[in-house]
Amino acid sequence: MSILRTANFVFHGALQDFRPDSERNLPVQLTFQPGQTCKHLVESLGAPHTEIAQVRVNGEVVDFSYQVRDGDQVEVYPPGPGQLWESDPARLRFVLDNHLGKLAVYLRMLGFDAVYRNDFDDQALAEICQEQGRILLTRDRRLLMRSQVQRGYWLRSKTPRLQVIEVARRYGLQAHIRPFDRCMGCNTPLQPVKKEDILHRLQPLTRLYFDDYSICPGCERIYWKGSHYQRMSGFIEELKANF
């Protein structure tokens, strides 16, 4: 028969967001069966591994596979101030959970590669993360606890406009924005297209006032710098002021 073990857990900084309100800033004493990994125990207390930058046990840095022992002091840290989750802009590729369609449009509008469909199940999302090295954005913390999901973020807000600000701050997106570079409908990078090649698809006034067009090779949607473009530019400036 096994004897139960007890360890203390302390969650620092933004990791408090995963603790019940009544227990914020309090250490947690956890009793458990022997042979449990650090990942399992920390996640059982609510914080997905994707949110954690470092774990220290009795002052020493350990990895998630560490088996927690009786009497351990476990300290769990988010990244330090100014420390980025992703320093390589080429790795800023996202996949979004089913409920985040609007956020996907905003990220694409800013030029970021954001895969989204409203019918991916949890397994499909986790596989896309693993196979394509994408960052999973979700409001479902259980999904982030899957081992296949190496990189991801639990959105605090339910409001798309605030969500895009959260993502921008977490991943330092400000420096890498390329507005109107990507199709907002299907995520494909846009290509310039000659006006005469698409003339038959343009409304008379559009044809009259605009000469520069882009087309999406994925869904054939046409883009030009009309009134919607002006509105979105204003929106982007407003967002950037908050990044």
Pick the closer one to Zn ion by CB: 62 or 186. 186
Rounded (10°) CA dihedral 64, 69, 70, 73? -50
Q: Does 216 bind Zn ion (CB under 5 A)?
A: yes
Q: Where do runs of H (alpha helix) occur along the chain?
A: 38-44, 101-109, 122-132, 141-144, 160-171, 195-198, 204-209, 227-240
Q: Does 218 bind Zn ion (CB under 5 A)?
A: yes
Pick the closer one to Zn ion by CB: 95 or 216. 216
Shortest reach from residue 229's CB to Zn ion, in Å: 16
Token pair for 117: 């469909």
Pick the closer one to Zn ion by CB: 138 or 187. 187
Pick the closer one to Zn ion by CB: 17 or 220. 220
Shortest reach from residue 137's CB to Zn ion, in Å: 20
What are the distances in angstroms from CA 99 to CA 160, 163, 224?
10, 12, 29
Q: Is residue 110 within 8 Å of residue 176, measured between CB atoms? A: no
Shortest reach from residue 222's CB to Zn ion, in Å: 10
Shortest reach from residue 103's CB to Zn ion, in Å: 17
Pick the closer one to Zn ion by CB: 42 or 183. 183
CB atoms within 10 A of CB 142: 10
183 phi, psi to nearest 5 deg: -70, 125
What is the 8-class DSSP label of residue 189? B
Give the footprint of Zn ion on residues 170-209 (CB under 5 A). 183, 185-186, 188
| Residues near Zn ion (CB under 5 A), total | 8
Pick the closer one to Zn ion by CB: 172 or 185. 185
Q: Is residue 104 within 8 Å of residue 83, measured between CB atoms? A: no
Shortest reach from residue 184's CB to Zn ion, in Å: 8
Q: Which of 219, 226, 234, 238 binds Zn ion (CB under 5 A)?
A: 219
Interface residues with Zn ion (CB under 5 A)?
Answer: 183, 185-186, 188, 216, 218-219, 221
